[in-house]
A and B are shown apart, each in its own frame.
Chain A
Amino acid sequence: MKKSPVLFLLASVSMVACIKDIHIDSYTNTEPVLCLVSRMSDSDLIHEVFLAVSSGSELTCPPEDTMVELWEDGILVAATDTLWSESNVQVHRVKASLEPGAKYKIVATAGSLRAQATVSAVSRYKGMASLCDSSSVRDFMGFRDYDSIQICIEDVPGDRSYYWLDNTVYGEIRYMKGGEVVDNNLDECGNVLLKPYIGGGMEELLGIENVSGEDMPASIFSDYAFQNGFFYINTSFTERYLSHYDLETLRDNAQYDSVCFSMKLRIGMMNSEDYDYCRLRDYHGSDLFYEPVMLSSNIDGGIGHFAIVSFSEITVPVNVIYFE
């Protein structure tokens, strides 16, 4: 928003400007290098490792006999279980149960190319999450929206911590009338159909855009985002999210008079290296003043990124909200 006047000014300048393209030799480093990227989770048993061979502007699939091995304290704990190719990327599936706090080494061998990295799985989140505030019923374009439902996440004392708030797990939203559940946000199989929006405080995220959204359902933040020891999450929902979406009927028949939540949060802990990588990966600016982002690499003998996120799942009950 703030850059608008700047862009208008620049647009004025560009009206009288001549455009010229200069050919610049780019992607000149054609020496083949093995790229390895993987972010594993201690809550999953199956992990994916992505491999490709980089040469100048080309990404090619490594040979089919490429192997990925995962070692814990010198013991081989997993190796390539399944592999397949997607476009120019080779995906290796490995099965391993990861322990928070343990150190893991990943090794990929593709012909004469070899890449490896060692990282520690960070300890899990040991803090608490609870409901801080819930209020406000507002009318928005004919719909009733219920917002300002605030959940607080407690900071972990000690060294600086880095958090991954996963938005893919949602709790149940129950619409009540006279104490009875008349509707919810689950389908017949119990899957969450209607997802309340979850967002962190944008300004507090060290200038990092909140990556919450349909394409990138996660928020990444550090201790700096905490205020007085708490990180605040604002959620909201609207009656438009109701499964059968029969708004008029619901209203006419006054089918519900209250709503209550059971909010599930999935909080991951990551190391500073992974946090920085996420931040850089998210900084793909499109305006004129961004410079190309220099991605970091923690892979020896190759280029890429290997990380392990330790997840905890916390259920936060939300008070019943009564409507007038």
Chain B
Amino acid sequence: MKKRVLLILLIALMQIPAHTQNRRHTISGFVRDSASGETLPGAGITSRSGITVSNGQGFFSISTDSERDTIKCSYIGYAPALLAISPSRDTTLNILLKAGEILEESVVSSGYIGRAGHISITADEILSPPAVFSEPDVLKTLQMMPGVQGGMEGTAGIMVRGGGPDENLFLLDGVPMYNVSHMLGVFSAFTPEAVKKVTLYKGAFPARYGGRVSSIVDIRTNDGDLNEYHGTLGLGLLTSHIHVEGPVVKNKTTASFTARGLNTIVAAPFLIKGGYNYSYYFYDLNGKIVHRFSEGDNIALTFYKCRDDFDYLSDEYLESTEECRYIAQDATNTEWGNNLVSFKWNHVFSPKLFFSTSLSWYGYKSNSSMGKYRTSANESTRNEVNFRSDIKDVILRTEFDYMLSRTNSLHFGAEGTRHIFAPSTQEMNKVSAVSASVADNTVIRYDGFEASLYAEDEMNISDWLHADFGMRFSWMKTKQKNYTFIEPRISLVADVGNHKSISASYSRMSQYVHLLSSSQVSLPTDIWIPITDRIRPVISDQVSLGVTYSFAEWEVGAEAYYKHSDNILEYKNGVSFTEGTGDWGEKVEMGESVSKGIELLLRKNIGRTTGWMSYTLSKTDRRFPDGSINNGRWFPYHYDRRHCYLFNVSHKFSDALEFGASWTFMSGERITIPDRVILAINNITPSGASPADYFEQKNNVTLPASHHLDVSLNWHRKFKLGRRVWRFSIYNVYNKLNPNMVSVGLFYDEKGNEQFKARTMTYLPILPSMFYTYYF
């Protein structure tokens, strides 16, 4: 297989000399928003001679053979630009696109827009759909895309094409983030106002991405307006935010700053003191400073910090021993959060060569402490146990974009990451008025070094056939063992005319970290751990075939995929993730997973009425051959939801009023229900026996489907100094009590009889809400 891939790559590259002999000129530059000067990554650019797409920094480079040519540039949500050029030499061309004024020409396919497995979402698309508590969310918007589903309703985790929640790589300005949620996953860690564009890769993975096997979520933040200061102030029922951006030095240095917090952040310090038992808050801080030395030379500093904090203090109670009587109180504090700093330098060496390098530091820390305060007439003591989990990554990444010829664009680079995982650190302290002592200290630490090299050739093989051939070499060094993998990536797009395209792809992905989690909710106790000599990396092979068709204002897409993953992890039969990390390698088992499905998407981006409809038919099965789970037989994955319909529409009645509605329907998740009662032997001497539940197949029952309709009304009004938007939403209009959590077991019915039931907990019944945003 590997030899065939190399052969195809070789044949493709052999075409290069023929093309390079032609006389041609290179047109290069940046695609920018005309008002703010913000760069636009992923814009489609075409000339008579070829097609390309702007890179993550908005830079493009394209050839033209003729003396007169027309450069066409399109970007979702922007009016397309048509630029007539007569180049006599290599030319720098900065393309300015105007937001909002969308003409019909924008539906002209660039050949890349219809690429299967890639979905791009702009900031406006994140803000437009109805949302829980009227709080738009990056990841919940992605959940509305075909092939993507959330775990528990109302939470921000995503599962892509049958993959687990740990199989998605979230990149914030190119830096991988591990923990991406707040408040048990109700909010994602990405404040929508700070986001410029989100691209989800669920197949046809470019070689520059790696590290997770199911999806890459590439989130780019705002650089900041080059020309003027502006921002937003948002006040909601749950959260509030402020966003400010503008030029620090006009046309040279920009800054963008966003802060968001749960509204309890104001009251949190006083809640416990005021006699409440609980307090909880979270906040996010996003910032970015970009300095442009010249048009082709800039540096960017990105920073991000977020924190969740939960406190509990019990009421005082009496505790007595034979010697003493105490007043006792239990206290719990749990805090967790991310810190990220990234420094990036982008440089255009020549119209054909773009260079970018970055050095980043990412840290995740969770700290839980549980203690007991005891006060007596003689002394005051505090006994506490602390659990800490830490992740630290230092990442050095360098990448080049080189236009090799009229038909070939090369992307190549290298990345090295130093991982430090300390998933479980335990300290036991006893502190009295006169002394403090650490009674016990247990630290488990895993170090690792991950490196990768990649090369990717974006080719226009002919006028109608475009291809990406890529190869990624990845290497992970752990204490016990080294792992290396070669990951070929192939993607073909055939433009069959009349705005129709057919695409096919093959990707091999590897993953060197695992998440030990309940997978239902995101918790601070979720723990990332690296591979070991026994727990091998996840390897996934995916093939997909898709068609897209654009007509009038509509875009239709259909895609089928088949994905096979090896070395996926699951807890062994009967083990719970709450048991902690000690000997975690013995609690999990490795197996394989097969996912297949068909995804349909109908999308309308233009006009007063916009939106999309999607349907996904999918099936995911897992198997753990060692027999520790389901006796080694295939069984359906917990989130094997067979059908998934999503409908989202937005209609603009006027400049002042905008209506949105979305309806979601998903087949129920799989759970395990006993088939019969059997006799089981007890672990005692002498032996005894007692009844026990028995089932032959794991995940043998499908829960009822969940569905909900959400509506929103946005009311805009302009003022002298800005404009405001009232966003009114009703989540779950017809109050369907969909399960957010499910526990299965014997429960008493109204008559006091024990019955086996699934007891569901719903915290999202009908929820009217509003959100106020002021744009200044």
List residues of A whose CB falls within 8 A of some B CB. 1-6, 8-10, 12-14, 16-30, 33, 35-39, 41, 44, 48, 50-52, 54-59, 88-89, 141-142, 166, 168, 203-204, 206-207, 211, 215-218, 220, 224, 276-285, 287-296, 303-305, 307
Contacts and interface: CB of A to CB of B under 8 A. Distances in A.
Nearest to B574: A283
Contacts of A29: 675-676, 696
Given A12-B278, A27-B756, A285-B574, A303 B686 contact: no
A17 to B, nearest CB: 4
Contacts of A217: 684-685
A296 B387 contact: no
A54 B762 CA distance: 35
Interface in B759-776: 759-763, 765
A277 B574 CA distance: 11
B368 interface: yes
A22 B583 contact: no
Nearest to A5: B334
5 contacts: A4-B368, A20-B739, A37-B687, A54-B677, A58-B677
A282 B683 contact: yes
Interface in B265-320: 278, 280, 310, 312
Q: Which 3 A-B pairs have the closest CB atoms?
A: A283-B574, A50-B689, A35-B679
Given A22-B760, A292-B744, A294-B695, A207 B575 contact: yes
A277 B631 CA distance: 12
B762 A3 contact: no
A311 B704 CA distance: 51
A201 to B, nearest CB: 11
B723 interface: no
Given A9-B184, A24-B701, A207-B587, 8 more contacts: A2-B578, A5-B334, A17-B740, A27-B676, A58-B677, A215-B684, A217-B685, A294-B631
Interface stretch (B117-125, B454-462, B517-525, B591-599): B517-525
B39 to A, nearest CB: 40
B576 interface: yes
Contacts of B184: 9-10, 13
Interface of A is mostly: mixed
Contact of A220 (B580, B683, B743): B683
Nearest to B517: A289
B443 interface: no
A4 B370 contact: yes
Contacts of A51: 679
B763 A295 contact: no
B525 to A, nearest CB: 5
A237 B109 CA distance: 81
A222 B683 CA distance: 15
Contacts of A1: 370, 385
B763 A13 contact: yes
B312 A8 contact: yes
A303 B683 contact: no
A52 B677 CA distance: 10
A38 B672 CA distance: 27
Contacts of A20: 737, 739, 759-762
B582 interface: yes
Contact of B579 (A17, A56, A207, A288): A207
B759 A281 contact: no
A116 to B, nearest CB: 16
B322 A5 contact: no
B370 A281 contact: no
Nearest to B571: A291
Contact of A293 (B574, B673, B763): B574
Contacts of A13: 184, 761, 763
Interface string B741-763: 10110010000000111111111
B573 interface: yes
B34 interface: no
A294 B573 contact: yes
A288 B685 contact: no
A27 B674 contact: yes
Interface in B667-693: 672-689, 691-693
